[in-house]
Amino acid sequence: MIEVDNPILPGCHPDPSVCRVGEWYYLVSSTFEYLPGLPVLRSRDLVRWETIGHVVDRPGMLEFDGIGSSGGLYAPTIRHGLGLYWVVCALVDRDDASRGGNFLVTATDPAGPWSDPVMLDAGGIDPSIAFDDDGRVWLHGTRLAAEPEWPDQTEVWVREYSPARQALVGEEHVIWRGAVRGAVWAEGPHLYRIDGRWFLIAAEGGTEFHHAVSVARADRITGPYVGNRANPVFTHRHLGRTSEVIGAGHADLVQAPDGSWQAVMLAMRAADGRHYPLGRETFLCPLSWEDGWPVFAPGEGRLPRTVRIPWPASAAPPGSWQPDDRVAGVIAPADPRWTALRALPAEVAVAEGGAWRLPVRATSLREASAPAFLGVRQQHQDVEVRCVLDVRGLAEGESAGLVLRQSERDHVTLFVSRTAEGLLLSSERRRAGDALRQDHGAPADADEVEFALSGRGYDYVLRHEGVALVTADGRELDASATGGFLGLWIGVHATSGGADPRGEARVTRFEYAPARPGRRDR
């Protein structure tokens, strides 16, 4: 028996999808406008996860320029079938429905490389894929209902996929519109063939406070599907705003080698029942079967704080494996946690001897383009980040600093700018597009500038050389305040503010640590 604290993947890891192949579990989650996209994590025990690669890790695999915050890569599904690993996902531009769409990639090794995307002739989001015993492959997903009975009603479609033709073939079937009359956003569908029947797991209620999980089953994959009378079979919405975990839903099921079942799903830690700066995180949920139906968190009915898993802890995987989200300390350039915006980290920066050289770009954080930005998810509610920027290479008019980011419209920065008179330290709080800027005089050091960020629940403080210069409120920066789907990211940024960029900053040190190591972070 091993125990693991929920969430199993803290920080923004929404829409988790999991599969098992032999002794390994593989998991992917949504990454939106951050690249590399779709981390692939593996585990032998569902407890300790290691990032082994990313699905979208090459320049030009997909076009992200112009895709605004909380657009991009949504809700991937990972499966193994026909001797290959498959990921299906949607690329979404929230301002331009003609861009992107559902796509599919395959790999012989889940660490990559993954194939170039095959775009699928199917609208909507949240694609998934299932393999029948007879070798046929079926894609499914969700989209706004063609003939809605109420606003935001969606429908789940299923259609055969021909690997030979790399195309959807045959008739399309609409199999589900939510379990409850009036249900919005029946989504995140996954189909499973279990004991000769087809089971559909789907979210409904929207990926916020009213999120829920429903289940239906059918004799044939194309239906008709009959919902469980207990639908929605899992939710936290009835717990109200005093529940410390809200929004549970978007589940995917996996069976262990011993025959037992678990589910992964997203949920949010919201101390006030509403706001969740870390975004939607991945939780583990025990699952049993009763009377031919899955029961989530049997006997308990909610996501456990600590999950007891009925198998021995796995041997440590090969190499210098550590659960990468729990490691405190310096995040070196080779660390898989680094992300950039709409471009790969290696496209905007150069790893040089343990440091990042970050050439200044004209783009600012306000544009849906690829700025000179490198960042990591905030994964702990109480956190300390410290970075040292060598700013000798900044040209006049250019600036570089530390960022707490939600979106183009919502972020907080503490930065230095090179002016004709020397370096100037400033901060900017941007909220719903409006900026409040303050100048704080000259930094203590003209070569290497130290910035730090402390997060304690909803309270953030950004410092220079130990002096608090700007604060931020996580209740104003989180997705429920700003809209969208993201948790907060902490990173570094350099810009020339639109002028021709000439200089660079060097990120000589970037440290990330839970504020109270050893304590449970909740």
Active site residues: 15, 187
Q: Which of 26, 49, 64, 74 binds ligand 6LW (CB under 6 A)?
A: 74
CB of 114 to ligand 6LW, least distance (A): 19
The nearer residue to ligand 6LW, 205 or 371, going by C-beta atoms, is 205
Give me the least distance between CB of 251 and ligand 6LW, in Å please.
11
Q: Applying CB under 6 A, which of residues 11, 12, 15, 204 lies at the interface with ligand 6LW? A: 15
Closest CA to 304 of 1, 5, 60: 5
Tell me whether residue 91 or residue 416 sits nearer to ligand 6LW (CB atom). Answer: 91
Q: Closest by alpha carbon to 194, among 255, 125, 242, 134?
A: 255
**Given the DSSP bridges, would you call strands 355-359 and 350-352 parallel, antiparallel or unpaired?**
antiparallel
As a whole number of angstroms, the distance between CA 306 and CA 381 comes to 17
CA distance 278 to 138: 34
Say whether residue 279 binds ligand 6LW (CB under 6 A). no
SS3 238: helix
Query: Rounded to the nearest whole angstrom, what is the least distance from the CB of residue 339 to ligand 6LW in the complex?
Result: 16
Q: Total residues at the site for ligand 6LW (CB under 6 A)?
A: 14
Q: In terms of CB distance, is 247 or 333 closer to ligand 6LW?
A: 247
Instruction: Give CA–CA dist 206/369, Å, rounded.
Output: 28
**175 with 186: CB under 8 angstroms?**
no
Helix (H) or strand (E) holding 497: none
Q: Which residue, 183, 176, 76, 73, is CA-closest to 486?
A: 73
Provide the minimum distance between the beta carbon of 125 and ligand 6LW in the complex, in angstroms, as a whole number. 5
296 vs 485, which CB is nearer to ligand 6LW? 485
Q: Which residue has the tokens 């130990």?
A: 466
d(CA 292, CA 196): 11
Residues 460 to 499: which contact ligand 6LW by CB under 6 A? 485
Q: Cβ distance 276 to 264 under 8 Å?
A: no
Phi, psi torsion values for 475, nearest 5 degrees = -75, -15
d(CA 422, CA 442): 8
Among 6, 17, 30, 235, binds ligand 6LW (CB under 6 A): 30
Judge whether 227 and 216 are in contact, CB under 8 Å.
yes
Q: Site mask, ligand 6LW, residues 174-213, x = CB under 6 A?
A: -----------x-xx-----------------xx------
Among 190, 250, 269, 475, binds ligand 6LW (CB under 6 A): 250
115, two tokens: 């194939």
Please tell me whether residue 51 binds ligand 6LW under the rule CB under 6 A: no
* Residue 169 beta carbon to ligand 6LW: minimum distance, rounded to whole angstroms: 25
CB of 206 to ligand 6LW, least distance (A): 5
Span 123-152, contacts to ligand 6LW by CB under 6 A: 125-126
Does 325 bind ligand 6LW (CB under 6 A)? Our answer is: no
Measured CA to CA, the distance from residue 105 to residue 86 in angstroms comes to: 6
Contacts of the segment 325-334: beta carbons below 8 A, 24+ positions apart: 325/9, 325/10, 325/11, 325/49, 325/379, 326/514, 328/512, 328/513, 328/514, 328/517, 329/511, 329/512, 329/513, 330/509, 330/510, 330/511, 331/376, 331/510, 331/511, 331/512
Q: How far is the CB of 74 from ligand 6LW (least distance, A)?
A: 4
CB of 280 to ligand 6LW, least distance (A): 7
Q: With binding defined as CB under 6 A, does residue 14 bind ligand 6LW?
A: yes
Rank residues 77 and 417 by Cβ distance to ligand 6LW and give the closer one. Answer: 77
Q: Which residues contact 436 (CB under 8 A, 6 or more apart)?
A: 428, 429, 430
* 75 binding ligand 6LW? (CB under 6 A): yes
Binding mask 87-126 for ligand 6LW (x = CB under 6 A): --------------------------------------xx
Pick the closer one to ligand 6LW by CB: 28 or 385. 28
Which positions touch ligand 6LW (CB under 6 A)? 14-15, 30, 74-75, 125-126, 185, 187-188, 206-207, 250, 485
